[in-house]
Structures are given as C-alpha cells and as structure tokens.
Structure 1
Amino acid sequence: MVRKPLLVLASGLGAVALLASCASGDTTAATEPAGGGETITVEHALGTTEIPADVERVATIGWGNHDVALALGVAPVGVDDQTWSMDGGDGLGLYDWSLEAYEELGAEEPVIFDTADGTDFEAIADSEPDLILAGYSGLTEEEYATLSEIAPVVAYPEVPWYTPWRETIRIDSEGLGKADEGLALIDDLDAQIADAVADEPAIKGKKAAFFFINAADLSTLSVYATGDSRTAFLGDLGFDFPQVAVDAAAEGSFYADISAENIDQLADVDVIVSYGDDSMLEALQADPLWSTLPAVQNGAVVTVGLGDAFSGAVTPTALSIPWMLDDYVALLGDAAAKAE
C-alpha cells in the first residue's frame, strides 16, 4: 500500500485503484499535544531519537502510523498517501477509518504526501512537523538522515516493512509520549479480536495464509510469509500457518512464489485468502492444477477486493482492525467451515 511493489509492502506489500478522499489544504496542530512534558528517547533500527517535550505537529510516513496517532488523540498534519493502485491510478488520500477519526477529533484533514516517487521530502518539510512517525515503513539510512534534518524521526524497530501492528502501536506511541496509552490500545484491540472470533469455532486448527493471485495468469501465485502483517493477522484470528508461509519467513523473505508445477507445496492450506473478487474461485476451480487443492475444491477461498477500502483494511492498523474486523472474521469463518 503506499505505492510500493505489490509483493513488498507489509506488509504493506500490496496495491490497486480505489476511491478515497483526497485531503489537502491548510493544516492544524495535533489535536492533543504529544509528549509528557519531558524529552523522550526512542531506540529503533536506524538509531536513537531524542524527541522534545510537548510535540505539537506530527507527520507520518509509511503505512498506518497516522492511525496510531489518531487512535491516541493526535491528528497528524501530514500523512503519506495510504491509497494504493496496481494499475498506476492516482490515489492521494486516506481510507474511511482514518477520515472518520479526523472528523471525530474535530481536526482538519492532513496534507497527503505523494509516494509515487518515494519519500516526498519537500512536502514533509513544508508541513513543519515537530516529529515524524515511521514505525511501519521502509526508510533507508539515507532517507532517515535526510528526514532527521527536518524533525526527529521514529523508524521501524527491526526490519523495514515488517513491523507487526502491535509493534507499530508500541513504538509510535512511545514516540508520542503515550506509551501507556499505546499498551492500553493494544489490549483493547486484542479484546475486540477475541470477541469477534469467539463465535467462529471452525477457524481453530485450520491453516490459512494471505496470497496474491492473478486470475488471468495462474502459472504462479505468491504466498505472504508469516511475518507479513496480512498473514500474521490470520494467526491473530486463530488460524495456524501452512508450511510454505513458515518457510518463507525462516528464509527472511516477505513472500514465496509457488509455480503450478509445485502445487503440492500448498496441500496443507485449508483456507486461501487473496486480493481479488468472486471470479477468483471460479478461475481456480477451472484450472486443471489449482483445482486439485482441497481449499479450492471446498470453495474455502476468501477474496478481499482489489483497490477498495476493505482490501486496504486487511493490512491491519490501529484503526482498520475495528473497522473491518466483524466482516472479515465472518468471511473467514464461513470459509473455514467449508474446510471441515
């Protein structure tokens, strides 16, 4: 999402044309000042950042970091484009759950940084931030150094584009001086997840992963590794993981390509989750090789759209989780029941 190669976003790893509001214009300071009246020190993969007390203007880059701030009462003045497109269509906007949060906070919508050509340093500087959150991003050391000349930067904790949603909340909230509130937010989201899956017993014990499948070319498909936030979130919902997703993570990969000739590698997949629409299952069932998979034979295939808000929401953020949770779990529960 954020206009990265589809197979490298974290898990971001994805993208497509969609409808989302384009936000621009004057900015306002954060709705609620960040910081707790003293300097904050945050350690991350690219160094150690000293953040001054009572930050007022926050910018975010990467995926979903603005949602952490919004969930904690801080409205960023500038945000990376969160809409995504596989066909090169323009986005430059935010998804529904973020826009709703700005409205609820009574804050003006932010400037949207264009990510088509990478980090938009000029627009970020023009937004005059006191702090830049990038807990879930792919910053290079050079980009980090350039941004640090604009404002203190909180980068990802370990691996670029590989930050789990809980860690994104943890490190971003720490940068905002709201570490305790961040932990409480994680607990609340975990409770919502537990409630949502309580009525879907068919999920437990089933193996699922998130895929990228092109229905027009089934010679190869890609499965996202267990460390990717999309597949990882299926684990949060109670699924086990197929071996191919586990192996991809062990090799340090974001995903694994599986050719039709190696279809046996997916024999243990009970539920396939993928971008796409209802035509995906029909295409898989019509294919002489992929139709031999038990998940395809059972119709245990969940498609989440390709460019609309729902397809963006399944790369989980602090605000997209409650926005999509009930609908997503219902779809997954129905598919898991078919696998029995």
Structure 2
Amino acid sequence: MRTPRLRTAAAAVSVAILGLTACAAPAEPGPAAPAGSSEQFPVTIEHVLGTTTIPKKPERVATVNWANHEVPLALGVVPVGMAAANFGDDDGDGVLPWVEEKLNQLGAGTPVLFDETDGIDFEAVADTNPDVILAAYSGLTKEAYETLSEIAPVVAFPEAPWATPWREMIELNSQALGMAEQGRALVSDLERQMADAVARKPQLRGKSTMFLTHVDATDLSEVSFYTSHDTRSLFFGDLGLATPGSIERASAETDQFSRTISAERADTFADVDIIVTYGGEELSNLLRQDPLLSQIPAVANGSIVSLPGSSPVGTAANPTPLAISWVLDDYVSMLADAADKKR
C-alpha cells in the first residue's frame, strides 16, 4: 500500500529509489490528439541537437529521460513507453504517484517502462515502435540522439542538458503531438494554480532562496549549489521568491546547472534568506553546527527546507507538468515555514 499523500496526511518517508519495471501490462497508446487539436503536419522543431520534422500526427508516443511522459499524459495521451522513475519512487514500481493517478484517470495501464539506470535502453524504445520520441527535458548526448533518431523523430532539449524550464518542456513536447494549443492552456492553468498558492503565503514574496545540492554530511568543506540555469532555481521565481545576488553572480560565470565553492567562502551567501536542500533534520543540524556554514543567515535562522530525496515530495523542487499540482501546496507551505523563522 502506498504511503498517504502529504496533502491529506503527514508523509512517511519510505525508500525505494531505483525505478523498477512495473508488473502491469503495457498500456495501449492513447489518442495522439483529442478532439479540438488543429495542428497542421508536418511539424518542424528546432533544438540544440538539430532540427526534427514529425511528418504526421503521432499515434504511438515514446518518451525518454525524466518527466517527458507527463506532457502527453497531462494532455490525455498515454505513451507506449516511458522512462521508469529512478528518484522519489516510494513503492518501487517505477511510476511516481502523480503519474499513477493520471493513468488511473485515463483508464490506462502502465506503459512499457524503460530502465535507464545504465543509460537509455535503445532496444526497449525501438520495441515500442514509436512515431515520435519526446525528450525536451533531457541530457541526451549527440550519439544518443542519433541512435534514437534511427527509431523515430526525436524532440531534444532547446539549449542545455537538464535545463529546459517546465513551460518549454510543455511547449516543445505538445507541439510535437500536434497539441500546441492544449499545451498553452496547460501552462496557463499551472500558472494560475501557482499564483493562487503563493497568494496564500505572502511571507514568501521576495525572499532570496538558494538550493544546496550534493551535501556530504561527512565533509562540509565545500558548498555545492544549483545555479540560476537549473530548473529548481528557476522554479523559485514562479513561487514569488528571489534569486540571491550571490547566485546570480556565480551563475553568470558558467553555463552549468551547478557549482561548488569552498566552505571558507560561505560568507558569499550572506544575502540568502532560505535554503532548500535534499536531506533531513540531521543534515539541517549539521549545517547549523558548522562554524563556516552557520555564517549563512538562512542556516543561522534555521530557514532550511529539507526535502526527503527518497520520497515523492523529494521531487517537488524540480517542477514537472503533473508533479506541480500534486506537490504545490505542500512545497509552498514548507517554504513559508522556513520564511517565518527568525534569528
């Protein structure tokens, strides 16, 4: 039995990180475009790895890498295959709870799950016989893109690996389905939900927030953090939070989604009000006890949001089309609690 949802009860953190292949029978593909879709084909999409043309409306949709399957599902299209969840999978079935809920709403079984523990399973993708492969949010290499393109047209990321904002993920993937109009409507609906959630927590407005990542509890001599190029940092802006000047300056020096500096430079982050990170209360305590990291105002105040990386809420910080609605109120509440803490 799955642990109760955070929105209805206190979440129990149960660990099953690696996505496992589900036992359910593969789902039949859903309709490629429900009534009302008027996109004309062929559709051509430009991305960082080239130009992709989808000659006709796809009937069999496959997705690879994180969360791309959430776009067709949100628009009523069931993929023939998708990547198994390898993070935040609380019951080990390879399907995150918001995806499971959507499949149930659509009356569909679990699609074929691609095990990407060791990279993309090209043979498994090919076996689903797709008409298009969606990967607008991904880390595809040129080689992987070319191999997938031998199977079907591939929609890759627009600029940098693992840096496609959720709006662009929806825009590109929905365009490939011939459902650009429905994609825009989905974006508008999610924006409305976020605006409503933030309006209920006015203390968040303008609070400067950073995301610590890959914190080694046994060695706090370095500080790793997501830059403003990463989707987790970009999500802060959607929630009324501000990017600290320290993060903006560090981000301007790189095109990477994360950076690492010595803890001796912790005073760099004197302008940080809230810290979000993966871990539990034990990690928060270690940060507060560290003589260098405790110089950061957010650490000194205890204004830390610790996300359990092994449960679904651990994915809250990385916004995706179906996850946003599922975790929004809980994530905003956690941020608001952190904002309320004072020295």
Q: Which residue of 1 aligns with 2:3?
A: none
Taking structure 1 as reference, are residues 82 and 60 closer, same or farther at Cα in structure 2, changes over 3 Å only? same
Matched, 1:72 2:75: yes
Shift of 1:19: 7.9
Q: Which residue of 1 aligns with 2:308?
A: 305
Q: Distance in 2 between matches of 1:113 and 1:255?
A: 27
Q: Distance in 2 between matches of 1:55 and 1:44?
A: 19
Alignment of 1:65-214 (within 5 A): 65-84=68-87, 93-212=94-213, 213-214=215-216
Shift of 1:258: 2.6
Give CA deviations for 1:109-161 in whole Å, capped at 9, x if unaligned: 01111112211101101111111000001112221111111111111111111
Q: Which amino acid aligns with 1:303?
A: S
Q: Which residue of 2 aligns with 1:240?
A: 242
Q: Which residue of 1 aligns with 2:17?
A: 18
Aligned residues of 2:87 and 2:309 also touching (Cα < 8 A)? no
Give CA deviations for 1:69-113 in whole Å, capped at 9, x if unaligned: 10001111111122238xxxx967121001111111111201111
Aligned residues of 1:225 and 1:246 also touching (Cα < 8 A)? yes
Q: Distance in 2 between matches of 1:103 and 1:157?
A: 31
Give CA deviations for 1:257-295 in whole Å, capped at 9, x if unaligned: 132211111111100000001112211112122222211
Q: Distance in 1 between matches of 2:299 and 2:154?
A: 45
Give CA deviations for 1:24-47 in whole Å, capped at 9, x if unaligned: 564343222247463222222222
Shift of 1:244: 3.2
Alignment of 1:207-286 (within 5 A): 207-212=208-213, 213-250=215-252, 251-286=254-289
Q: Distance in 1 between matches of 2:19 and 2:145?
A: 29
Number of equivalences: 322
Q: Which amino acid aligns with 2:125?
A: I
Aligned residues of 1:156 and 1:163 also touching (Cα < 8 A)? yes
Q: Distance in 2 between matches of 1:81 and 1:313?
A: 18
Aligned residues of 1:135 and 1:157 also touching (Cα < 8 A)? yes
Aligned residues of 2:316 and 2:331 also touching (Cα < 8 A)? no
SS of aligned partner of 1:65 = coil
Q: Which residue of 1 aligns with 2:28?
A: 29
38, 42, 45: which one pairs with 2:41? 38
Q: Which amino acid aligns with 1:99?
A: E
Taking structure 1 as reference, are residues 33 and 235 closer, same or farther at Cα in structure 2, changes over 3 Å only? same
Q: Distance in 2 between matches of 1:313 and 1:68?
A: 17
Q: Distance in 2 between matches of 1:317 and 1:116?
A: 20
Q: Distance in 2 between matches of 1:276 and 1:134?
A: 29
Task: Point out the more displaced range, 241-250 or 182-191.
Answer: 241-250
Shift of 1:225: 0.6
Shift of 1:21: 7.0
Q: Which residue of 1 aligns with 2:7?
A: none
Q: Which runs of 5+ in 2 are unaligned?
A: 1-14
Q: Distance in 2 between matches of 1:95 and 1:313?
A: 12
Task: Point out the more displaced range, 166-175 or 138-147.
Answer: 138-147
Q: Which residue of 2 aligns with 1:58?
A: 61
Give CA deviations for 1:42-83 in whole Å, capped at 9, x if unaligned: 222222212132311111012111001100011111111222
Shift of 1:246: 1.5
Q: Which amino acid aligns with 2:207?
A: K
Task: Point out the more displaced range, 320-329 or 250-259.
Answer: 250-259
Taking structure 1 as reference, are residues 161 and 19 closer, same or farther at Cα in structure 2, changes over 3 Å only? closer
Q: Which amino acid aligns with 2:199?
A: A
Shift of 1:216: 2.8
Q: Distance in 2 between matches of 1:277 and 1:28?
A: 37
Aligned residues of 2:19 and 2:115 also touching (Cα < 8 A)? no
Aligned residues of 1:83 and 1:92 also touching (Cα < 8 A)? no
Q: Which residue of 2 aligns with 1:337?
A: 340
Give CA deviations for 1:8-35 in whole Å, capped at 9, x if unaligned: xxxxxxxx84387742564343222247
Aligned residues of 2:20 and 2:115 also touching (Cα < 8 A)? no
